[in-house]
Each structure stands twice: as C-alpha cells, then as structure tokens.
C-alpha cells in the first residue's frame, strides 16, 4: 500500500507542474510539500532525518553561492559584458557558444558543477539572443555540465559517492565513463552552436521588439530583491530534493535495486526528479563489474538533464534565469531520450 501511494506521488510530481501554471510558477514550494508527504507516507520522517538534512553543508553552500554570484554579477556585469562583446568581435556567436558549452562541460569536474553553472548563467544572461533562445542554450549547456562533472569525485555529489562506495582512485570515473562523456560533450557543443546559428539568422537587435521586451524581463531579476528571493527558492528546492530522496527510499530499496541492469538503465529516468547521487549510492556496489557500473551511471547522468530537479546545474540555472518546468522539459526530455537510446545500443549492444 505504501509503495502504491509513493508511486502515485511520483506521478503527481511528474505531471502536475505541466498542467497547472501556479504550480509550475512555484515548483520549489510544490516539491517541498510533496517531499514532506513522501517522508510521511513512507515513515522515514524523523528528527534524525531533519537533523541530517539541516547539517548538509552542500545545501547552504549552493544557496550562498547563488546569492553571492548574483550580487557579484550585478556589480561586475558591465565588465563581463565588455569581455563577452570583445570575444564576439573576434569569433562568431556560434563558435563562442560551442566553446562555452564544451569548456564548461570538460572543466566542471575540476571547478565543480556549481561553479560551472554559475559561470554559465552569467554569460548566457548577456548574450545577444532572445530569452527563449537563451533557455535552449542553458538547457543544452547544463546537460554538458551534468555529464562532465561526473568525471572526478570533486565534480558533483554523485561522483563523490560512487568513488567513495567503490573505494576507487581519483581517476576511476574518467577511465570508466570518460570514453562516453567526452565525445558527448563535444557533440552537445556542436548542437548548441548549430541552434544559435539557426536562431540568430534573422535577429537584428535594433529592430526586434521581442528581443528588447525579453531583455527588460531579464533585467528585472537583477535587483537585490529578486536575487534574495531566487536564493531562498533554491534553498527550498534543495530541501525538497533531500526530502523526496528520503521519502522514496523504500521504493528504491524494494524494487529498483534488484532489477536487471538493462531495465535499471531505463528505470533510472526517475533521476529526472530524484537526487541521482542517492540513487547511485543505493544501486552501485563494489561487487558489480565495470559494465554494470557504466550502464547505471550513464542512465542516471543522461536522465538528469530531462527536468529541472535532475541535477544541481539545472536547479541553479533555472532559478537564476527564471526558466519554467515546461520550458525546460520541452528541450530536456527530447535530448535526454535520444541520448538514452543511442547509449543503450552503445553500452548493451
């Protein structure tokens, strides 16, 4: 009965934000309520859980990083603008976007996914393209960052937990999945460059009224009030993910952990709404062979780009650029599904 209710909650989380606009506009509060409901139904709610969540330094670090970066960008935005314009005077926007996506993807495993995503949104924010096109570039770039950050144990929580669980060395993940991740980042960079070339073909910033209207909306979120509200929302979002991961743990333990790896590869699409680090910790064991570990990791990492809760870069970028769930899913789901299909054949066939 408990598992059935948890499954129903999961369906609600996946479906409701796409059909009810107030929920979509306040996705952080919705997920927080769903998280409380999940831990209550599963019986995992306790003072120990609350204490564990409140002691998670990563929650505070990410919130502080978003807040401080927002203030710093407001202070240095003119200099950043000049630097980007200078770069665009020497190379095309298409090449600039390709370099941005690839460099952030490849370096995110060293500078961390958090820093990479903060750099991304500040640069994308001032690119001379429409806001709707900035959303596409951001989703594509976050996909790249989410993949690249998994190459070392300092890139993101998932890679840290996997290396720790396997008692592996620093370069284990680079050796295990690097052959898949690095070419993927380059392909993603080409995809982003191709889209920019197509989207800006007829754009003239002196005549395009839509461009200026969207720029006005972006400028609104640069005030101190919006920076503060955005940071609070991200804090609530992170708490919600912790609650959801704890609440759905019985479902993971009872059903997901014991599945065949080929099925598990697809089931791991639930990492689009659950913390992929928690799923990795539950699913991966030192007793597994490298092929199984590789398949599980690729399923989790690729699925993480589908929806905003999927990984940290998504959460930070969507919060700072005010990207809605529907807007993200429209781009993230097709890219992730196609990539999952391609890698299924690569990994298993």
How confident is the model over 171-195, as a mean pLDDT? 94
What's the pLDDT score for residue 205? 45
What's the pLDDT score for residue 204? 46
How confident is the model over 309-333, as a mean pLDDT? 89
Band (pLDDT 50/70/90 cuts) for residue 340 is very high
Of 8-17, 128-137, 279-288, the one with minimum mean pLDDT is 279-288
Band (pLDDT 50/70/90 cuts) for residue 213 is low
* pLDDT tens by residue, 270-282: 888 876 776 786 6
How confident is the model over 11-33, as a mean pLDDT? 85
SS (H, E, C) the chain: CHHHHHHHHHHHHHHHHHHCHHHHHCHHHHHHHHHHHHHHHHCCCCHHHHHHHHCCHHHHHHHHHHHHHHHHHHHHHHHHHHHHHHHHHHCCHHHHHHHHHHHHHHHHHHHHHHHHHHHHHHHHHCCCCCHHHHHHHHHHHHHHHHHHHHHCCCCCHHHHHHHHHHCCCCCHHHHHHHHHHHHHHHHHHHHHHHHHHHHCCCCCCCCCHHHHHHHHHHHHCCCHHHHHHHHHHHHHHHHHHHHHHHHCHHHHHHHHCCCCHHHHHHHHHHHHCCCHHHHHHHHCCCCCCHHHHHHHHHHHHHHCCCCHHHCHHHHHHHHHHCCCHHHHHHHHHHHHHHHHHHHHHHHHC
Determine what percent of the chain is predicted with pLDDT higher than 70: 91
pLDDT at 218 exceeding the cut of 60:
no
How confident is the model over 148-165, as a mean pLDDT? 86
How confident is the model over 206-214, as a mean pLDDT? 51
What's the pLDDT score for residue 341? 95
pLDDT at 191 exceeding the cut of 70:
yes
């Amino acid at each position: 009965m408990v598992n059935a209710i948890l499954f129903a909650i999961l369906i609600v989380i996946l479906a409701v934000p796409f059909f009810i606009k107030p929920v979509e506009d306040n996705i952080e509060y919705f997920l927080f309520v769903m998280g409380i409901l999940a831990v209550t139904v599963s019986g995992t709610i306790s003072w120990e859980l609350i204490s564990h969540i409140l002691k998670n330094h990563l929650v505070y670090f990410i919130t502080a990083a978003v807040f401080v970066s927002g203030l710093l960008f407001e202070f240095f935005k003119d200099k950043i603008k000049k630097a980007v314009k200078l770069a665009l005077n020497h190379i095309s926007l298409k090449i600039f976007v390709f370099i941005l996506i690839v460099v952030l993807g490849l370096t995110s495993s060293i500078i961390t996914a958090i820093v990479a995503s903060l750099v991304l949104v500040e640069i994308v924010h001032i690119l001379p393209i429409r806001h709707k096109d900035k959303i596409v570039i951001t989703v594509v770039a976050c996909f790249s960052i989410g993949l690249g950050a998994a190459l070392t144990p300092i890139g993101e929580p998932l890679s840290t937990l996997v290396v720790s669980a396997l008692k592996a060395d620093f370069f284990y993940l680079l050796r295990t999945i690097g052959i898949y991740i690095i070419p993927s980042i380059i392909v993603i960079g080409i995809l982003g460059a191709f889209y920019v070339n197509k989207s800006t073909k007829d754009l003239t910033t002196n005549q395009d009224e839509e461009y200026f209207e969207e720029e006005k909306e972006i400028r609104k979120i640069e005030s101190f009030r919006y920076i503060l509200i955005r940071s609070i929302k991200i804090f609530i979002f992170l708490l919600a993910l912790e609650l959801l991961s704890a609440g759905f743990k019985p479902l993971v333990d009872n059903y997901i952990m014991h599945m065949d790896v080929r099925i598990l590869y697809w089931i791991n699409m639930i990492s689009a709404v659950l913390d992929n680090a928690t799923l990795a910790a539950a699913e991966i064991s030192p007793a597994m062979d490298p092929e199984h570990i590789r398949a599980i990791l690729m399923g989790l990492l690729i699925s993480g780009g589908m929806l905003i809760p999927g990984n940290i870069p998504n959460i930070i970028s969507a919060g700072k650029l005010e990207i809605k769930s529907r807007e993200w899913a429209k781009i993230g789901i097709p890219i992730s599904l196609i990539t999952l299909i391609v890698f299924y054949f690569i990994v298993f066939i």
